[in-house]
């Protein structure tokens, strides 16, 4: 496997060209001594479930895996909590407004997200987001936007993990479906 910082050839502090692998997670500048660590970026995904036991999924509007199913979610921005990032991503991609108190942490997994020719190391945090109330009224609010080309409510029993194009999301869906069926 390539070093996560292989594309970075110059020191971001002094611009020196002696920016070399220090260990498996960092590079060190031989000119100024700066050490940069390649820690994973925080990313989120939401299992949004209504009172009819349907899950809200989106169809990806962009690469990677354009046209395949996905879960609402994305990268956490600087200066926001994971919970704030999850709520923001849900709003951006579906139009649903959820409160931080509505989301329930499920599990996490390491991932490498391919973006612009680079492998971006992430830690994916997955949340259950139950939405209660009149399902028709909730469905009327949902509009695909941002990174989502389409939003679909699918009965959980009809979810096919093979339709999810990103491996990390597909694995999370499999994991969620197993835990969901165990709770029933």
Residues 6+ apart with CB under 8 A from 181: none
Angstrom CA distances, 163 to 17, 59, 66, 133, stand at 44, 10, 12, 28
Q: Is 84 a catalytic residue?
A: no
Pairing of strands 118-130, 41-49: parallel
Q: How far is the C-alpha of 124 from the C-alpha of 114, rounded, in Å?
A: 14
Kindly report the number of other CB atoms within 10 A of residue 73's CB atom: 25
Torsion 59-65-70-76 (CA) sign: negative
Kindly report the number of other CB atoms within 10 A of residue 96's CB atom: 20
Q: How far is the C-alpha of 18 from the C-alpha of 114, rounded, in Å?
A: 26
Residue from 6, 63, 97, 150 carrying the catalytic annotation: 150
Active site residues: 150
């Amino acid at each position: 496997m390539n070093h996560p910082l292989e594309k970075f050839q110059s020191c971001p502090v002094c611009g020196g060209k002696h920016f070399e692998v220090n260990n498996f997670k960092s590079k060190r500048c031989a000119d100024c001594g700066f050490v940069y660590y390649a820690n994973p970026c925080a990313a989120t995904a939401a299992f949004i479930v209504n009172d009819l036991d349907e899950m809200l999924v989106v169809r990806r509007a962009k690469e990677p895996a354009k046209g395949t199913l996905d879960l609402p979610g994305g990268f956490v921005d600087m200066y926001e909590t994971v919970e704030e990032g999850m709520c923001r991503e849900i709003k951006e991609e579906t139009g649903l407004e959820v409160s931080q108190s509505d989301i329930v942490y499920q599990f996490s997994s390491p991932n490498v997200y391919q973006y612009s020719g680079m492998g971006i190391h992430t830690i994916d945090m997955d949340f259950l987001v139950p939405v209660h109330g009149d399902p028709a009224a909730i469905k009327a609010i949902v509009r695909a936007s941002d990174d989502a080309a389409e939003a679909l409510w699918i009965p959980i029993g009809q979810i096919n993990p093979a339709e999810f194009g990103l491996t990390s999301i597909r694995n999370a869906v499999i994991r969620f479906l197993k835990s969901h069926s165990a709770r029933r």
